[in-house]
Copies of this chain bind each other. A is one copy, B any other.
Amino acid sequence: MLPGCPIRVTLIAFTLLMIVVIRPHTPPDLVEEVIREISLLGYTPNPIRGECQTVVAAIGDETTHASLESLNALAQVERVIRVQKRYKLASRQSHPETTVIDAGGVKIGGADFVLMAGPCSVESEEQLMVSARAVKAAGATVLRGGAYKPRTSPYEFQGLGPEGLRMLAAARAETGLRIITEVLGEHDVDLVAGTADILQIGARNAQNFRLLVACARSGKPVLLKRGMSMRIEEWLLAAEYLLAHGNPNVILCERGIRTFEDYTRNTLDLAAVAIAKQETHLPVIVDPSQGCGRADLVKVLCRGAAAVGADGLIIEVHPNPAEALSDGQQQLDPEAFATLVGELRPFVQAAGRSF
């Protein structure tokens, strides 16, 4: 095994098939050089010679040898194409049955369509309680609320911290709702995991690999948001970090990607939900509030999410959005949320789920 490569998942095939494309009209001796280098790196080369261009298919094990992508450094190599998917534990191939996660009794990924709702930030005992009672009454089973807030500017409200966690615990005690809340840093994992039923890893931390490993070790279910500019493959590889470090309870969350469009804060990628359901065995939740950043679109995007096969939703609800300390523009008031849930039901049923 390579130095510095601590993870080795047994019982999984890491045998690779890579395609090394050699530039057209490369002289034969330089083609042979590439073939020799592939052997040297521990792979078996299979050259296919076209009229003016050769490609070499290489077979080997990437965990015991360096990746062939470094061959791009050779002038006569045009590109190196990886054939296999890089996620293993997350893939449906390795785990055909769908994973259902138990978060304090709430089943995620099964027949029930799960509603997670609550304020963007925990702002006060009263604000949280009003929200919690309202979302429960409307049908939610998980309460969201940020005690630690990742904010673009250091001068913005950063969350109430431990005090916020205490309020969340109190809300659970009263309502029975399960708690999901974001963890911002490795240092906080133990503290947050002491209260939360589900740890949330935010979009900005989706490739904070240290945080992924720390959350994996907590043993708690983890909801992993897709990073703003993450390709689906990278998102699933971030989930793979959680799985490979011993935590099987991973929930994926699509929350929009960054594009040039400016009528919405992000572009919600509902095809990614369908792909994640197909490629992996993990539950997939959609965050329409972050996904568009506009309260007026949340209702229809919830319908779209249910229709494409999401396992649930996480929705921002605040007693008085216009005075919210963060993201008021995308939070629903309790009444709008109740209407949304009522009108959502036929779409959830059409998708073969219930709530």
Contact = CB atoms under 8 A, between A and B. Distances in A.
Contact of A304 (B84, B304, B349): B304
A244 B155 contact: yes
A243 to B, nearest CB: 8
B157 A4 contact: yes
A324 to B, nearest CB: 5
Interface stretch (A128-136, A173-181, A201-209): A201-209
A241 interface: yes
B304 A157 contact: no
Contacts of A237: 152-154
Given A19-B81, A153-B86, A209-B150, A297 B274 contact: yes
A160 interface: yes
B21 A83 contact: yes
Interface string A1-42: 011111101000111110101001100000000000100010
A156 interface: yes
Interface stretch (A103-111, A191-199, A261-269): A261-269
Contact of A267 (B5, B14, B80, B271): B271
A190 interface: no
Interface string A240-281: 110011000000000001111111100111111011001000
A328 B69 contact: yes
A74 interface: yes
Interface residues of A, number: 131
Interface string A70-81: 111111000011
A354 interface: no
Given A205-B208, A264-B271, A306-B307, A55 B70 contact: no
B17 A19 contact: no
A98 interface: no
A52 B51 CA distance: 29
A259 B262 contact: no
Contacts of A88: 155
A139 to B, nearest CB: 17
A339 interface: no
A351 B210 CA distance: 40
A303 B297 contact: no
Contacts of A41: 323
Contact of A73 (B229, B240, B303, B328): B328
Contact of A271 (B14, B268, B328): B268
Nearest to A70: B328
Contacts of A184: 209-210
14 contacts: A7-B155, A15-B50, A70-B322, A71-B329, A72-B329, A73-B329, A186-B210, A229-B260, A258-B260, A262-B262, A300-B307, A307-B347, A347-B347, A347-B351
